[in-house]
């Protein structure tokens, strides 16, 4: 049974650019959630995908968008990057209707 894998592990982007982060969910999981973790803080919920549709969103602007694919993998896209977008982005998979998430190791995004 494989866990949640994310790519890339580290990324440096310039303010105003766009970025795509990728996530492969744990085998058997059909729901993917994305979280943003700023340095020294707890993760903040961005959104969740189930059956390739967004079914929950936190307090993040529309320039944060996502996709879920038929194999349950997912992408997080961020447009018009801002310096405050610098953070660890965590993907978590779960089984719809079940408790408990499995988190990946995250992608460390630095915006300069």
Closest distance between other proteins and the C-beta of residue 60, in Å? 12
Query: Which segment (11-19, 62-70, 73-81, 90-98) binds other proteins by CB under 8 A?
Result: 90-98
> How many residues line the site for other proteins (CB under 8 A)?
28
Q: Interface residues for other proteins in 33-62 (CB under 8 A)?
A: 33, 35, 40-45, 48, 56, 58
Q: Does 4 bind other proteins (CB under 8 A)?
A: yes
Residue among 15, 5, 23 nearest 63 (CA): 15
Query: In this chain, which of 31, 68, 74, 86 binds other proteins, going by CB under 8 A?
Result: 31
């Amino acid at each position: 049974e494989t866990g949640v894998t994310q790519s890339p592990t580290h990324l440096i982007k310039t303010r105003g650019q766009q970025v795509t982060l990728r996530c492969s969910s744990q085998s058997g999981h059909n729901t993917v959630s994305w979280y943003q973790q700023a340095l020294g803080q707890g993760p903040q919920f961005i959104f969740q995908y189930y059956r390739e549709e967004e079914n929950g969103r936190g307090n993040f602007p529309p320039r944060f968008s996502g996709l879920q694919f038929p194999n349950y993998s997912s992408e997080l896209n961020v447009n018009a990057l801002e310096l405050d977008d610098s953070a660890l982005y965590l993907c978590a998979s779960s089984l719809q209707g079940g408790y408990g998430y499995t988190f990946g190791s995250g992608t460390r995004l630095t915006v300069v």
